[in-house]
Amino acid sequence: MKRSLVMASLCLAVFGLAPIATAGATAKGRCMFHGKAALLEELTSKPKNIKYSFASEKGGSLNLPAGGVVCEEAGGATLTGRTTAEGEGEVSCSAGIGGLQEVEPVLLGKSGPPGQGKLELELNKATGKYEKVFEYELSVVSQAGIVDILVRPKGTATYTVEGYASFLESKSEPLEKCFTVGAGALEFDAVVEGEI
């Protein structure tokens, strides 16, 4: 569940683009990312509220370059970069929800507020800074190592990006470890698509 929550967050982070650098900027297309989700507590078979963070990194089943993010814009441009996010959710090894507290406070209150993330694209090697920076919020629903992801620009009410993440091929800690001794750091691959 943690894995799914983290995966979802990462996916959202990759394509949930809330412009920071350029006011009014929008982006449309698809993003892929690979990374590792770190959980504040071990993910086990019993549901509990857990805080997570994740950061994209090179590799994964998508064989992504340094930074761990590749976005393909609708116009044909390919951008690379990195993403990070953090949040919380009510999760277990088999299922979880995160960031849906505002949707249904009574039923989903334990899912917490939307996660917070940042996507940075196109590193300027001369300045060492990224040319395009977006902040986003994300919500996730997970089941059996697969995470459905919803992303929206930070501070808005409408989700405009959706996708999925998978922890099924985690090498840092196999997903099976979750059901035995617990898992605290899971690798994931994610794909998200939309307009922001």
Share of the chain above pLDDT 70, in %: 82
Confidence of residue 100 (pLDDT cuts 50, 70, 90): confident
Does the pLDDT at position 46 exceed 60?
yes
Through-space distance between the first and last CA atoms of the chain, rounded to whole angstroms: 27
Q: How many CB atoms lie within 10 A of CB 38?
A: 17
- What does the block give as tokens for 109? 């209150």
pLDDT of residue 22: 43
pLDDT of residue 114: 92
Confidence of residue 109 (pLDDT cuts 50, 70, 90): low
pLDDT of residue 105: 56
What's the domain count of the chain?
1
Q: Report how far residue 96's alpha carbon sits from residue 110's, in angstroms, rounded to the nearest whole number.
A: 10
Domain range for 187 is 2-195
Say whether 110 sits in a helix, a strand or coil.
helix
Q: Report how far residue 114's alpha carbon sits from residue 102's, in angstroms, rounded to the nearest whole number.
A: 8
- pLDDT average, residue stretch 87-101: 85
Does the pLDDT at position 3 exceed 60?
no
pLDDT of residue 99: 82
Q: Report how far residue 24's alpha carbon sits from residue 72's, in angstroms, rounded to the nearest whole number.
A: 20
The pLDDT tens digits for 126-185 are 999 999 999 999 999 988 889 999 999 999 989 999 999 998 888 888 878 888 888 888
Q: Compute the chain's Rg from CA coordinates.
A: 15
Angle CA 81–82–83, to nearest 5:
140
pLDDT of residue 1: 39
The pLDDT tens digits for 16-37 are 333 333 444 567 899 999 999 8
Q: What is the mean pLDDT of the chain?
A: 82
Does the pLDDT at position 14 exceed 50?
no
Closest by alpha carbon to 161, among 29, 39, 49? 29
Least confident of 67-71, 106-110, 129-133, 167-171: 106-110
